Amino acid sequence: MIIKKPSIFIYTHQADPAVLKEVCAGIEEEGVFYDTAEFPDECMEKLAYKAARDSMLGSGIGIFGTAVCLKMRGLEKGRNIENYLAPNRTQCRNIGANSARAIKKLPFKEEYRL
């Protein structure tokens, strides 16, 4: 039996390192675990959809290049919690924090205060 620890999944494809780092920092600040994995898919939404589906917590992030997308399990296609094509530093941090807040059932942050 494979036991996975409860964590947010981040599925990436050729992810921009700066984007990935800030997203991870956002999750870490909220005190939730995360796992990253590389998938050959060129659609941020598909990556996020699969990540949310596979995550035990039901929260997943997809990153393709700089494009980043947050989804929760059960959310219909085309409806994302938050997504950016070329996010700045605070937007990356925000998406990470919100993926964790989705699990804690806290309201989403609209703007991360750095």
The site for other proteins, by CB under 8 A, has a size of 22
- Does 111 bind other proteins (CB under 8 A)? Our answer is no
Q: Is 45 in the site for other proteins (CB under 8 A)?
A: no
* Binding-site member from 82, 83, 87, 99 for other proteins (CB under 8 A): 82
Based on the shown chain and the rule CB under 8 A, indicate whether residue 76 belongs to the binding site for other proteins.
yes
Tokens of 11: 């599925």
Phi, psi of 67 (to 5 degrees): -70, 130
In angstroms, the CA 70 to CA 68 distance is 7
C-alpha closest to that of 56 among 78, 33, 39: 33
Query: In this chain, which stretch among 10-18, 39-47, 48-56, 95-103 interacts with other proteins, using CB under 8 A?
Result: 95-103
Three state DSSP letters for 29-70: HCCCCEEEEECCCCCHHHHHHHHHHHCCCCEEEEEECCEEEE
Q: Does 114 bind other proteins (CB under 8 A)?
A: yes
Token pair in block for residue 79: 């409806």
Options 12-20, 40-48, 59-67, 96-104: segment touching other proteins (CB under 8 A)? 96-104
Where do contacts with other proteins occur on this chain (CB under 8 A)?
Answer: 25, 28-31, 72, 74-76, 79, 81-82, 97, 101-102, 105-108, 112-114
